[in-house]
Amino acid sequence: MFLRKTLPLLICFFCGVFAIIGFFSAEGTTINTYYEKLAKWNSIIAAFAMLLGVGNLLRVNFVKISRNHQDKVYCAILIVSLIATASFGLIGGVYSSKPVYYMAPGQNFDLSTIAVTYKNENRKIEPMKIESWSADTGSVSLNTYTPPTSDFNGVVVLWADYMNKNEAKKIKVELHVRKRPAYEGFLDFFKNKCAYVFEYMIKPMQSTMFSLLAFFVASAAFRAFRAKSFEATILLVTAFIVMLGRVPIGTSIWPGFAGISEWILSTVNMAGSRAITLGAAVGATAACLKIILGLETRYLGGE
Amino acid sequence: MSFQIKLKTFPIKFLVFLLSLFFFLASLAALNAQTAEISAQGPESSSAAAALAAGQTAETKIEISGEIGEPAVSQPPATVAAPAPAPEQVPLPPAVKPLNVTASIDTVFITPGQTLDLSSITLSTQISKDAVKIESWSADTGSVNINTYTPPDANFKGIVALYAHYMDGGVIKKKEIELKVRKNYLEERLIVLYMALILAVIILLSINSALSGKNYFIRRIGGLNAIDEAIGRSTEMGKPVLYLTGLSDMSSISTIASISILSYVATKTAEYETSLLVPCCRSLVMNTAREVVKESYLEAGKPDAYNAENIKYITDDQFGFVSGVDGIMMREKPAANFYLGHFMAESLIYAETGNSIGAIQIAGTSEFSQIPFFVAACDYCLIGEELFAASAYLSRKPKDVGTLRGQDIAKLAIMVIVIIGVVLETLAVINPGLSSSLGMYKSVFQTK
């Protein structure tokens, strides 16, 4: 009982009171510093809790496979994908979108290998003309970078100068001058795969799910805006005016739609929004108080 | 029959085959590229290979900032570039590695009217920690000398960029330090502290009053009355109940409120012996939900009906979780869906998928932007603070009812403050002489 109820409640009380004191303490004071650390602990605990989730995910899916469940193939795909993606990230590390190049000491770097492209107005990728190069150390021409000395080791910042709408602009490129052990290339393989999974698999799938919203908004609006009652009719008319005010065709029909739409959003809608937000804030404060004082224990299980 | 089975499993096998093929080809392609990157030593004709032969390797992504267009992924050219003009060697200063200087503090605070003692700020090199001499100071506003910074005026509040100038290889360089001139936290947040204390006192007095036996009226909340009806419907149809606690972790008050309602829902599903599915977006929420549901089943006297596998973690990713939950809805066809907690853009996807399977849907969130979606697509919706009031409504215990009364008194007080503000604002428009009293009123309630 002590470990299941009393101790969590005590921890909750002390953390809650400490967080309140920390919030009202001046920046730079010891209490405020520890208050900020407390917030970081939350992230650390959440990161460790991720292992719990992964463990559960693996267990549930392994059990399904072992029981010859009808969805066992999906379970297998999930486990393989999980392990593959985690391996890419764990071995290769975090992928940086910053352009980083490497060269061995005592060599010259061929700048023509750095191809810079951009998307034009038609979203086509085109090569961009580099006018000149500059570097924070060493010497540089249009095609070649030479480190200051033959035994120079370190990071060089290269700037590619280009023109955009008659304005000179620069792109920063990092060049690491050092001997690269072979294992780093091996790690790069995983790093690139990790980035590949995120860029070309996860992101498109997320976008696909998100794009479903467009259709769902239409179907939900169709149901909600049927003029079944007086309130529903007001909703329909208001929505119609706001919609017309937000699209070009509405203002073409009558320019006043834009103003009415803006008034509905900034006055009528905002009043409702503030009322709900204030109510929710009071509710949340009361709930926090109950939790800190141990009056609310249902989240620990039981009454 | 066997033909039917084959038909059913064929797409799955085909999918597995495609997936394996994809992984194999992707790995092969990546391995090829990597091999070239590591071991291209031969007399290849391409400039990329020539560069690699010279010991250089490259990561392929480059970010382009500016107005020229969106950043694009670029690959090193595979063929020799067109002959370039004769290279012009640009002589640069001798190679001296720049100092990597750090300041003893990145952000400093002073209150309006104060001056800042700059001697307390020191610079040092990041690696050796050697002190770097500050030659001079400059600031984007106010006046500054080597020892002191003075804001432009005594009432000045804002952010000032201070620059400490130091010598690096014969060149003057500068390190930026942010200075915030503003009231201290306590002064700024004093009104919040007072409000919170008043609210706490009101709630505690209300709880005390309720515990002493006084009965308080709680207005009817349709969504909460419908919980029993929804679970009953699921039981009659022999279908499970689906419960979502939202996207947030246990640090969110909405999730904790949702877990409290889950406790009630689990007790009912245990009594009716109906299956309860709780897919979770956070592993901590999953563990908490398991504990809560298990206790509820124990209290209902049906510990055997509890199935831990029904409360499972899916993923932390927002839309990954959505697709997982949608999949569960389409496969399990729950008859009652509860969406209570913190929801974002995914709210309508749940609600419309739930609607398509004919489930009775009860939603509730304090996230204002998602309430219209739930109102439009669900049968019942708890708006704003109703989510936090739900546990009191369902349990009717004196401490919960007392809290609810305390909240209502606080809301009444806020309404009075708002009405006074509106009246004063209106009077100030009619009679500009009143604007000074309005200013005082505003200054009490304005916080940053």
The answer to whether B371 and B346 have CB atoms below 8 angstroms apart is no
If DSSP codes are grouped into helix, strand and coil, which group holds residue B102?
A: strand
Q: Is a pLDDT exceeding 90 seen at residue B232?
A: yes
Measure the CA–CA gap between B421 and B436, rounded to whole angstroms.
Answer: 13
A56 and B313 Cβ atoms separated by less than 8 Å: yes
CB contact under 8 A, A116 and B64: yes
Supply the pLDDT for residue B349: 94
Q: For residues B344-349, give the mean pLDDT.
A: 92
Give residue A224's pLDDT: 80
Do A174 and A109 reside in the same domain of the chain? yes
Q: Which residues of A touch B383 (CB under 8 A)?
A: 276
DSSP state at residue A113? G
Q: Which of A216, A217, A267 to mutate to test the interface with B (most CBs of B within 10 A)?
A: A216
For residue B373, CA distances in Å to A32, A223, A224, A292, B370 come to: 39, 12, 10, 33, 5
Q: What is the DSSP letter of B313?
A: E
Q: What are the helix (H) ranges across B333-397?
A: 347-356, 371-377, 386-395
pLDDT exceeds 50 at position A214 = yes
Using the predicted structure, report yes or no on whether residue B447 has a pLDDT greater than 60. Answer: no
Query: Do residue A59 and residue A116 come from a single domain?
Result: no
Measured CA to CA, the distance from residue B35 to residue B32 in angstroms comes to 5
B404: exposed, middle or buried (Cβ count in 10 Å: 0-12, 13-18, 19+): buried
At B422 the pLDDT is 83
Report if residue A39 sits inside a domain: yes
Looking at 3.40.50, 3.20.20, 2.40.128, 2.60.200, the CATH number of the domain B238-395 comes to: 3.40.50
Do B70 and A119 lie within an 8 Å CB cutoff?
A: yes
- Is residue A154 less than 8 Å (CB to CB) from chain B? yes
Give the residue from A119, A147, A179 where a domain finishes. A179
CATH match for B101-182 among 1.25.40, 2.60.40, 2.40.50, 1.10.8: 2.60.40
Q: Is B412 exposed, middle or buried (0-12, 13-18, 19+ CB in 10 A)?
A: exposed
Binary contact (B109, A140; C-beta < 8 A): no
* Span B14-33, average pLDDT: 53
Nearest to A302 among B56, B73, B299 (CB): B299
For B156-170, write each residue's pLDDT tens digit: 888 888 999 888 777
Q: Does residue A53 sit in the same domain as residue A6? A: yes
pLDDT on residue A157? 86
- Name the most confidently modeled range: A111-125, A168-182, B76-90, B282-296: B282-296
Which string of b and e fits A125-148 if b means at least 16 CB within 10 Å? eeebebeebebebbbbbbbbbbbb
A113, A160: one domain: yes
Sequence-distant (6+) residues with CB within 8 A of A296 are A287, A290, B256, B260, B391
Residue A81, classified by CB atoms within 10 Å of its CB into exposed (0-12), middle (13-18) or buried (19+), is middle
Q: What's the pLDDT score for residue B71?
A: 35
pLDDT of residue B131: 82
Q: Which of A191-205, B241-255, B282-296, B307-321 has the lowest mean pLDDT?
A: A191-205
CB contact at 8 A, B342 and B246: yes
Partner residue opposite A50 with nearest CB, options B95, B184, B283: B283
- A298 close contact with B: CB closer than 8 A: yes
Domain hosting A164: range is: 105-179
B174 torsion bin: left (phi>0), alpha (psi -120 to 50), beta (else): beta
Question: Same structural domain for residues A235 and A280?
Answer: yes
Q: Please report, for chain B, the start and end positions of each structural domain, with discontinuous segments joined by +.
A: 101-182, 185-218+397-448, 238-395
Mean pLDDT of all residues in A56-75: 91
Q: Count residue pairs from A and B with Cβ separation < 8 A.
A: 348
Percent pLDDT > 90 in chain B is 32
Is the interface score ipTM higher than 0.85? no
Report the residue count for chain B: 448
Residue A62 lies in a domain: yes
Using alpha carbons only, give the angle A20, A24, A28 rounded to the nearest 5 degrees.
115
Please provide the average confidence, as pLDDT, over all residues in chain B.
Answer: 78
**Which of the four pLDDT bands, split at 50, 70 and 90, describes residue B61?**
very low
pLDDT, tens digit (0-9, with 9 covering 90-100), for B368-420: 889 989 988 999 999 988 998 888 888 888 888 888 899 899 999 989 988 88
Residue A200 clears pLDDT 70, i.e. is over it: yes
Indicate the pLDDT class of residue B445, thresholds 50, 70 and 90.
Answer: low
What percent of chain B shows pLDDT beyond 70?
73
Segment A47-74 shows an average pLDDT of 89
CB contact under 8 A, B256 and A291: yes
Phi, psi of A229 (to 5 degrees): -140, 180
Mean pLDDT, rounded, of chain A: 86
Q: Which of B76, B263, B345 sits opposite A115 (nearest CB)?
A: B76
Q: Does the pLDDT of residue A260 top 50, yes or no?
A: yes
Q: Are residues A117 and A161 in the same domain?
A: yes
Which among B47, B251, B345 is the nearest to A213, CB-wise? B345
Spatial contact of B366 and A280, defined as CB atoms under 8 Å apart:
yes
CA angle B37, B40, B42 (to 5 degrees): 170
Per-residue tokens: B156: 């000045």
The pLDDT, as a whole number, for residue B73 is 34
Domain assignment present for residue A96? The answer is no
pLDDT at residue B42 in the model:
30
pLDDT band per the 50, 70, 90 thresholds, residue B25: low
* In chain A, residues 186-205 whose CB comes closer than 8 Å to chain B: 186, 188-189, 192-193, 195-196, 202, 205
Average pLDDT over residues B228-251: 94
The total number of structural domains that make up chain A: 3
Average pLDDT over residues B96-107: 74
pLDDT value for B44: 31
Which band of pLDDT confidence, cut at 50, 70 and 90, is reported for residue B81?
Answer: very low
Mean pLDDT in residue range B197-222: 87
Q: How far apart are CA B446 and CA B189, in angstroms?
A: 10
- Containing H/E element for B383? strand B380-383
- Distance in angstroms (rounded) separating the CA atoms of residues B135 and B349: 61
pLDDT above 70 covers what percent of chain A? Answer: 97
Scanning A116-135 for CB atoms below 8 A from B yields 116-121, 123, 125, 128, 134-135
User: Taking residues B56-61, what's their average pLDDT?
Assistant: 39
A24 touches chain B (CB under 8 A): yes
Is residue B385 within 8 A of residue A282, CB to CB? The reply is yes
B120-171 confidence digits (pLDDT tens): 888 888 666 678 888 889 888 888 988 899 998 888 888 888 999 888 777 7
Which residue among A46, A115, A189 sits closest to B34, beta carbon to beta carbon? A189
Residue at which a domain ends, from A124, A159, A179: A179
Interchain contact A93–B (C-beta under 8 A): no
Residue B88: pLDDT above 90?
no
Segment among A93-102, A193-202, B63-72, B383-392 with least mean pLDDT: B63-72
Instruction: Name residue A175's amino acid.
Output: L
Cβ count near B24 (within 10 Å): 10
Is the pLDDT at B80 greater than 60? The verdict is no
Q: Is B46 helix (H, G, I), strand (E, B) or coil?
A: coil
Per-residue pLDDT at A79: 94
Under 8 Å between Cβ of A264 and A272 = no
